[in-house]
Structure 1
Amino acid sequence: MRRLLVLLPLGLVLAAVVVLSSVEYGMARPSQRIKNLAYVAATAPDFDTERHRLDVYAPRRKAPGEGCPVVLFMHGGNWNSGNKNIYTFVGRRLARQGVVAVVINYRLAPKVKIDGMADDCARALAWTVQHIGEYGGDPGRVFVMGHSAGGGLAAILTTDDGLLARHGLAPNPVRGAILDDPAGLDMYTYLKSRDTGDTQYHDAFGGDPAGWKAWSPIYRLRAGQPPFLLFIGGETYPSISSSSERFRKRLGALGMPPTYQVLPGKKHVPMVLQLYWQHNVIYKELLKLVGAG
């Protein structure tokens, strides 16, 4: 059976990060990690004690007189796996470069579908806007970032004003989005073209084409929205490269061409692993976007 979109569980990421973490102590010293903060009230009927948590990574030395820019990072994992604890290297590296990083968990399929995941991410964003000043961040300079499924969720937060308004975020506070090999930008086109019986993504997106379209951020793009940075692996999955190209063209048609770079030779998992190293093109462009450094 031909599959256009086969995203690896993040076990490979975890294995690689275990190796990298042996030298993380040196990187940790210029930053502080505040772990396992609840972004949903424990009294909420849907509170999940593990998944409704986030970590804040803050620079130990802050510029006097102003808060740092903030990046809210959403992990990937095929919408059914992944954990914020795998991505300490992202939080540490951003904090070391003058950015307050917020790395979150969110509920996963099959427990919830994409609307529940997006709602969790919106609640994490609301928590960030309300509380990040306590950790040296500027609530007026909040950006979103994600890899793989997390990239698709970051795009939803950037484009779905109605979702954010339901959590008190009107106008939309997102100042820009950094998408690292994003999945889910156009699940409608992908699922409409799937082979008969290929229902692996129904756990996350359901079986209704109207829902696939509703949660595909390409159909929510509008003029005047925040800017996008898109980074695509030259050897990534065809579904990611094709949907990202359509996303790029749609932004261009709206008069808002994104920063768009295809990184030669990069496969899907290495696209996030490269964030361990400070001097890569994603951080270079991210820092310019958020105004850090």
Structure 2
Amino acid sequence: MIRNVVFGLLGAILLAVGYGYFFASPPMMLNLIDKMMAPDAPVEQIAEGLDFGTAPRQQLDIWAPAKRGKEKLPVVIFYYGGAWIKGSRQEYAFAGRAFAANGFIAVVPDYRLVPGVVFPIFVQDSALAVKWVRDNIAAYGGDPDRITLSGHSAGAYNAAILALDGHYLKEIGVDPRTVRAAALFAAPLDFYPFDGPRSRAAFGAWPKPAETQPVTFARADAPPLFIAQGTADDVVKPRNAPRLARRLKAVGAPFVLKLYPGKSHNDLVMGLSVPFRGNATTLADSVAFLKANSR
């Protein structure tokens, strides 16, 4: 039923705006369909293309509930995936709308991509976005004391490494405790040796491979992590999530490991969108976790 609605809307979009959109990326098509469907609650984009650095891709968008009072709201920064080689904040506006509809000030930043940069530049960009949010989000209705992270795939890697390896935030003057919690969807967490061209392109030049792996930095005082993994994921192997979970358990760190039986790599992020909301419960699960752990 949901897929019939989606394909019907897709046909309407193509008729309305021309067949040029046929060549748009899958996330952009999903975003277009999501935008046409009613959200859980009214939301609005309150900022677009704000600079958090000086590089062309160091920009972010902000989404918020359309109806909000004077109380500052919890904040989530969502980093999109794309194997560190592709993606844009505009394609993932559906994630911003989804979290905003559930009571967050939602920030969706860009970051620089391979091959223009390699590790750790995209992590450093992600850290700069946290610093900008800490310093500026109060002006947009967000609570700088309730900043959380989320992301999918490569973006979830960025969120994971920031949450676990505190030096990226420390080196730009941000207390790692600024990040109160993180929700990670299909994150590469323990993937060395690099066995694919994309991971080799992003990380292969770094002289100490262990420093590229989130699992290396499991620590007792890490912020609470929601680690979500589809058991049918053939992009980020399902072994990643349990490996980090075991390491976190061993050091006494707070986490929730949630396996989604039969769900693929993209099912988890598609579950944030309105048309595929029933396909995976990632939105409800992550919202509940981030709100509970950002107080």
Q: How does the TM-score come out when normalised to structure 1?
A: 0.84
List per-residue Cα deviations over 1:230-287 (Å, max 9, x = no partner): 1111210274311211011111111235211111221111211110136763232323
Equivalent runs, 1:7-86 vs 2, <5 Å:
11-23=25-37, 29-40=42-53, 47-49=54-56, 51-64=57-70, 66-86=71-91
List per-residue Cα deviations over 1:58-97 (Å, max 9, x = no partner): 1232244x31000000000011001111111111111111
Is the counterpart of residue 223 in structure 1 residue 220 in structure 2? yes
> Relative to structure 2, which stretch is displaced further, 160-169 or 139-148?
160-169
Q: Does the 8 A contact of 2:153 with 2:236 survive in 1?
A: no
| Identical residues among aligned pairs (%) | 32
Q: Distance in 2 between matches of 1:56 and 1:76?
A: 18
Equivalent runs, 1:1-293 vs 2, <5 Å:
11-23=25-37, 29-40=42-53, 47-49=54-56, 51-64=57-70, 66-183=71-188, 185-188=189-192, 190-191=193-194, 194=195, 199-208=197-206, 210=208, 212-237=209-234, 239-256=236-253, 258-277=255-274, 281-291=281-291
**Are residues 14 and 238 of structure 1, via their aligned partners in 2, closer, same or farther at CA, if it must alter by over 3 Å?**
closer
**Are residues 238 and 89 of structure 1, via their aligned partners in 2, closer, same or farther at CA, if it must alter by over 3 Å?**
closer
Q: Distance in 1 between matches of 2:63 and 2:186?
A: 23
CA displacement at 1:107 relative to structure 2: 0.1
Q: Does the 8 A contact of 1:223 with 1:255 survive in 2?
A: yes
Q: Does the 8 A contact of 2:182 with 2:290 survive in 1?
A: no
Q: Distance in 2 between matches of 1:225 and 1:219?
A: 12
- Where structure 2 has 5 or more consecutive residues not aligned to the other structure, the ranges are 1-23
- Where structure 1 has 5 or more consecutive residues not aligned to the other structure, the ranges are 1-9, 41-46
Equivalenced residue count is 267
CA displacement at 1:143 relative to structure 2: 0.4
The amino acid that maps onto 1:282 is: T
CA displacement at 1:201 relative to structure 2: 2.5
Q: Does the 8 A contact of 1:30 with 1:96 survive in 2?
A: yes
> RMSD in angstroms over aligned alpha carbons?
2.3
